[in-house]
Amino acid sequence: MLKLDFHPAGRHFLQIPGPSPVPDRILRAMSYPTIDHRGPEFGELGLKVLDGIKKIFKTQQPVVIYPASGTGAWEAALSNTLSPGDHVLMFETGHFATLWKKMAEKLGLKPEFLGLPGIEGWRRGVQPQMIEERLRADPQHAIKAVCVVHNETSTGVTSNIAAVRRAIDAGGHPALLLVDTISGLACADYRHDEWGVDVTVSGSQKGLMLPPGISFNAISPKAMAANQHAKLPRSFWDWSEIVEMNKTGYWPYTPNTNLLYGLHEAIEMILGEGLDNVFARHERLAEATRRAVRAWGLEIQCADPAVYSPVLTGVMMPDGVDADAVRKLIYERFDMSLGTGLGKMKGRMFRIGHLGDCNDLTLLATLAGCEMGLRLAGVPIKQSGMPAAMEWLSQAPKTSGLKAAA
C-alpha cells in the first residue's frame, strides 16, 4: 500500500490551483473497465465527449483531445501552426507564460516577450494596448502568432482575451491568436469562437476536475489552414489525422480510455450545473477569499481588481517572511496543500486554489487553515479573515450547490 494512502483522520485539503480534487463521481467513472478502443462502444463514447467538450470551449470547431498532459498541448498549438524561425509575440503574465516562451525557443521559434517591468507584469495581466502597438510596428507581418495566457496559474490574474483579439484586429494584423486557458477552462468564462481565438490550449486537471493526463486544442478554421503550411516537424501532435478520425469517434492511436470516462462524467456534471452557475460559483468563492486576505492585511498578488482570477488567489507575504515555510507549517500541521510561489515570486507568496470541486465550507476550512498557519508562523495579521468571508458567503447570491428541501 502506498504511504500516501496513510490517512489517520479526515481528508487532505488539496487547495493548490490544480491538480484540483477529483470528485468521487469522476473517480468511479474512471474505474469502468477499459474497453477496445476500436469497438463500437468506444466510438459512441468518443462522439459524446468530442461533442460535449465543444460546449465547454464554446466552439463549433474541432477540439482535439490528446492523451498527454497540458504541456503537450502547448507544444501542439505551436507545432501545428508555425514553422522553424517564425516570430511569435508572447506576453509575460507570469511563470507559465515564461515556460511557454522557453518552449517556443526550444522548438526553434523566435518568441518576443512583451511585458511590464519587474513583477508588475505578474500582477496585472496582458496589456492589450502593448500588443496593439507592437503589431502596428510590424507592417510586414513578420509576427505569425500572438500567444497569451488566459488564467495565469502562477499569479491569479485572468486576462481579457476579447481585448487581445481587438488589439490584433485594430491594426488588421493577420497573426494567429493562441491562448492557454489550462487553468481557466470551466472556472472562468471562456469563448473560443466569439473571441476569435485560433488555438485554445487546455488541460484536464483544473476546472474539469480530472486527474492530469489529457489535454486539448480547440482549433479555428484559420489555424487549421495554417496547419497545412506549418513546417515544424510533428507527428504525435499533428491535428489533421486526429480530426479526421474523430469524425467517427475514434483516434489514430490509443486514446486514454479511462480518463475519457472521467471526462464524460465531468462534462455531465459541468453542463448539468450550467456553465454560468459554474462561473458564478468560482467568482463567489474567489471573492470570499479576497475578503479574508484583505482582512488579514495582506496583499493580493493581482493588483488589478478587473482581472482577479476566480480560480486562485495569490497571497503576498510581508518582507522577510518565507512563504514556503508558512506553506510547510500548514501542510504538516493542518494537512492542507497550498501552491508555492513560482519563478520571480519564489518564497514571496503562496497561492490558494478555490477551483473545481470546492464549496463554501471547504473554502472556509481552507481560509481557517491559512489563518492558523499564518499566526503560528508569526506572520503579523491585522485581524481574522473569517468574519468577512463568512458574511460574504452568507449573503452573496448562490445559484448552485443548494440542496432541495425535503
Residues 49-108 that bind a copy of itself (CB under 8 A): 66-72, 74-75, 79, 84, 102-103, 106-108
Query: Which residue, 168 or 182, is less far from a copy of itself as judged by CB?
Result: 182
Q: Which residue has the cell 482535439?
A: 64
Q: What is the DSSP letter of 306?
A: G
Query: What residues numbered 8-27 form the site for a copy of itself, per CB under 8 A?
Result: 8-14, 16, 18-25, 27
Rounded to whole angstroms, the Cα distance separating 54 from 307 reads: 25
Residues 237 and 189: their CA atoms lie apart, in Å, by: 27
The binder of a copy of itself chosen from 58, 110, 191, 234 (CB under 8 A): 234
Least CB distance to a copy of itself at residue 182 (A): 9
C-alpha 251/C-alpha 66 separation (Å) is 9
Q: How far is the CB of 323 from a copy of itself (least distance, A)?
A: 13
Question: Length of the chain in residues, anyone?
Answer: 406
Distances (CA, A) of 7 to 2, 3, 289, 337: 11, 9, 27, 15
Cβ distance to a copy of itself smaller for residue 161 or 364 = 364
Q: How many CA atoms lie within 13 A of 56 on its CB side?
A: 34
Judging by beta carbons within 10 Å of its beta carbon (0-12, 13-18, 19+), is residue 32 exposed, middle or buried?
middle
- Which of 33, 139, 172, 320 is in the footprint of a copy of itself by CB under 8 A? 33
* C-beta closer to a copy of itself: residue 85 or 174: 85
Instruction: Sketch the per residue contact string, 242 through 271, with a copy of itself: x for CB under 8 A, - otherwise.
Output: -----------xxxxxxx-x--x----x--
CB 217, CB 59: distance < 8 Å: no
- Contacts of a copy of itself in 111-150 (CB under 8 A): none
Nearest distance in Å: CB 247, a copy of itself: 15
Site for a copy of itself in 188-207 (CB under 8 A): 203, 205
| 382 belongs to the binding site for a copy of itself (CB under 8 A) | no
Size of site (CB under 8 A) for a copy of itself? 124
Q: How far is the CB of 266 from a copy of itself (least distance, A)?
A: 12
Q: Does 322 bind a copy of itself (CB under 8 A)?
A: no
Task: Mark the segment that binds a copy of itself (CB under 8 A) among 54-62, 119-127, 170-178, 272-280.
Answer: 272-280
Q: What are phi and psi of 64, to 5 degrees?
A: -85, 135
Among residues 20 and 155, whose Cβ is nearest to a copy of itself? 20
Strand ranges inside 131-258, DSSP E: 143-149, 151-152, 157-158, 176-180, 199-203, 215-219
Contact 101, 80 (CB under 8 A): no
C-alpha cell at 43: 466510438
372 binds a copy of itself, rule: CB under 8 A:
yes
